[in-house]
Amino acid sequence: MNLSRTSAGINDAPGLLYAGFNQDYGCFAIGLDTGFRVYNCHPLINQAKNESDDGGIGLVEMLYRTNYLALVGGGRNPRYPPNKVIIYDSIKAKPVFELEYKNYKYKKRIYPIFYLYIYIYLYRLTVVLQNKVFVYHFSLPPQLLHKFETCDNEKGLAAVSTSSSHAILIIPGRQKGQLQIIDLNSLGYYISVGESDHNGPPALPPLLTSESTNSATSLSNNNHSNGNGINGNTRRSINVSIIPAHTGKLSCLSLNQDGSRCATTSDKGTLIRVYNTATCALLHELRRGVDRAEIYAIAFNQESTRLCISSDKGTIHIFNLDPSVVTHMDHKPRGPTYGEVVTYPTQSPSNYGLTNSGNRGSAFSFMKDLLPKYFSSEWSFANAKIPTESRCLVAFGEQKNSIIAICADGTCYKYYFDPRNGGECTRESFERFLKD
């Protein structure tokens, strides 16, 4: 959640520039105008910090719970130039290497790099610019595997799966509303299943742990390969699929852990669509609401049976994706059965029953062939309300049936939801990780 790219709220904590979870949602990092901090989620503990008057950090990306972080300068006094990615070793308290991105030509004009986002997953380093995406093999020096074109991507939208056997990257397409699904293993440097630990974070890249690196290595994007293959000598067959996900511009993306499912929303923020990344088939279309909203985060649970989102409405929504998780079936799904005498409902459409997936549905859903698509929508199974309606990130917690929200006002909320009946979540705890 890059707080500097969206309008600030009246309750925002001063000096907070960025907040983001690590790959397994067990930790989160924040960027400040004085540096950065890393917190453990369960319990909420400040594990590491690097703060000084040297300047601000606008982006912090963690590599699981390792000592490597990717940093980009930010704020009024950036610690590093905003067009550089710094790979930082928190144990040695110094940069390992940096990547610099100079101005580049786009549509026959020179555009400065104002938008720079970073993602680290396994042995891949992904750098997202306003309309380009660079994918590197995470080593020293980093090897450029490929670069992709996108439409204007001011939010730096991208997501990478954490599975080594099914490494998937999703980014916006070249046209508005399109989604690109990229098989990262088709780019080269294939990582076998045996090279990662499925019960925890993967082994560190061996080239980065070498003691021979005594100082940071500076690299310019102009000195890398041309993106057609390793060293630019051979062209590889890249596995890329295109999905026309929405008619409007994409606003948020997410992948489940094994890369088999992805979720998207548009700038309208009313519908969340879930796709199969292998077949590009639409699996679910979920409705957040009818009013336009900005979606801040989408997260799958570990089993990919549920999905949660947060928006600028101050509400967290939880959806069921697998009917098998619905254990309470006393509520029959809406709709008549064969031979049943139908009495047309007199209730308003705001009264909901449960659909076959366990989500709420309209009371008029049995007339979905006659009524607009709205009446066949699936609404959230459970929800939680952020009291201050602050901008927040949300994820499923380590405890069963729990969710965690990290808010721009420097607070952290933990909620539990009823897996049988859904409805309003119960607030378990409230803590302030960043005081005024």
Distance CA 375, CA 24 (A): 36
Residue 361 structural domain: 3-432
Averaged over 370-396, what is the pLDDT?
A: 78
Q: Please measure the distance between the N-terminal and C-terminal CA atoms of the chain and give it in whole angstroms.
A: 20
Q: What is the pLDDT of residue 323?
A: 74
Contacts (Cβ under 8 Å, ≥6 apart) of 400: none
pTM of the model: 0.80
Q: How many domains does the chain have?
A: 1
What was the pLDDT predicted at 436?
63
- Report percent pLDDT > 70 for the chain: 71
Q: Which residue has the higher pLDDT, 300 or 210?
A: 300
What's the average model confidence in pLDDT over 128-140?
86
Rounded CA-CA distance 418/74 in Å is 40
Query: What would the mean pLDDT of 405-423 be, rounded to a whole number?
Result: 90
Which pLDDT value is given to residue 105? 57
Q: What is the pLDDT of residues 208-258, one digit of tens each?
A: 443 333 444 455 554 444 444 444 444 567 888 999 999 999 999 999 988
Query: 4 in helix, strand or coil?
Result: helix
Residue owning tokens 């366990």: 358
Q: pLDDT per residue over 172-207, tens digit each? A: 999 999 999 999 888 875 444 333 333 444 444 444
Are 198 and 59 a contacting pair, CB within 8 Å? no
pLDDT score at 167: 84
Residue 230 has what pLDDT?
44
pLDDT in the model for residue 421: 83
Which CATH number fits the domain that encloses residue 48? 2.130.10.10
Measure Cα distances from 111 to 104, 107, 129 in Å: 6, 9, 11
Residue type (1 letter), 342: V
pLDDT for the residue numbered 330:
46
Q: What is the mean pLDDT of the chain?
A: 77
**pLDDT at residue 370, rounded to an integer:** 46
In this prediction, residue 207 carries a pLDDT of 42
Residue 114 has pLDDT above 60, yes or no: no
Structure tokens at 271: 């519908």
Question: Is the confidence at residue 328, as pLDDT, over 60?
Answer: no
More confident call, 137 vs 275: 275
pLDDT of 2 reads 54
